[in-house]
Chain A
Amino acid sequence: MGEIAEFSLAVRTFLRAYRWRKIDPVPWVPLEKPLSDCRLALVSSAGFVTPDQSVFDESTRGGDVSYRSIPSDFPVADLIDTHRSDSFDHEGMIQDPNLAFPIDRVRELVESRRIHSVSEEHISFMGSITAPRRLVRDTAPEIAQRLLEGEVDVALLVPV
């Protein structure tokens, strides 16, 4: 089970004093059509990049709020884990990136007609962001705009 107890003493000490952001009010978009008519995008905070993309920067104060666009047809096995956190075991998602970026599973959902289609791009960022102001102010609206331009209806977000 995911528990704060998994983390190092230094991380646990930090988290004890951390002021989590509260989403208020909670925005809500009702699903206006069946999932079988929807286009889905993935948003993963696992820090995956393609070989031609720059890695995420662990030295950025408060966290690296940049993101990478992952083409939907990119072979999942070729994704590179550049998440810099040592607070979790990377072995599983290195073995199979679908564990945190389940693009193969999403393609199967299209084949089974559970969803209509897959977004042409997906979003990857590195979730170790302790100061999320720029994530909320800049990055998230930009991600939303990109996905809207790609006519995305629904998004599945996956942390690690």
Chain B
Amino acid sequence: MCNQAVSLVAAELERQGIATVAIQLLRDVAERVRPPRALFVPFRHGYPLDLPSNPARQHAVVEAALRLLEISDPRPPVLVDLELTSL
């Protein structure tokens, strides 16, 4: 439900002029709900940035999400899988 809820909020922020990127923990839910920009992360529920007390790991996930804001020529919705090799 968290995945849908943040996606619905993201859509409203976009409607009102704020660019968004939403982390998503359930890929099939992201495909159905369709937030404008979504980074699918292969982590378990409760761990959207993977590891507690690991700033480098958390930073890598945040940075991967920010890069979606910089995609040129997008075809919304944008749903990208986090590449674990980049972490």
A residues with a Cβ closer than 8 A to B are 1-4, 6, 20-24, 26-31, 35, 41, 43, 45-46, 63, 87-93, 95-96, 98-100, 102, 104-106, 108-109, 114-115, 123, 125, 127-130, 132, 135-136, 139-141, 143-145, 147-148, 152-160
A132 / chain B contacts, CB cutoff of 8 Å: 4-5, 8
Interface string of B1-30 (1 = CB under 8 A from A): 111111111111111111111111110010
Contact B52 A143 (CB under 8 A): no
Report which of B10, B16, B43 forms a contact with A157, defined as CB distance below 8 A. Answer: B10
A95–B23 CA distance with the chains assembled, in angstroms: 20
A20 touches B4 (CB 8 A): yes
Q: What is the interface size of chain B, counting residues whose CB is below 8 A from a CB of the partner?
A: 57
Interface residues of B (CB under 8 A from A): 1-26, 29, 32-36, 41-53, 55, 58-59, 62-63, 65-66, 69-70, 74, 76-77
Known: A102-B58, A145-B16, A152-B18. A127 touches B6 (CB 8 A): yes
User: Does A29 contact B12, Cβ atoms closer than 8 Å?
Assistant: no
- A residues less than 8 Å from B18 (CB atoms): 29, 41, 144, 147-148, 152-155
Contact A154 B32 (CB under 8 A): no
30 cross-chain CB contacts under 8 A: A2-B41, A6-B44, A21-B33, A22-B32, A23-B11, A23-B33, A23-B35, A24-B34, A26-B76, A30-B74, A43-B13, A45-B2, A63-B1, A89-B44, A99-B52, A100-B46, A102-B58, A127-B2, A127-B3, A128-B2, A140-B8, A143-B12, A143-B13, A154-B18, A155-B19, A156-B23, A157-B22, A158-B23, A159-B5, A159-B48
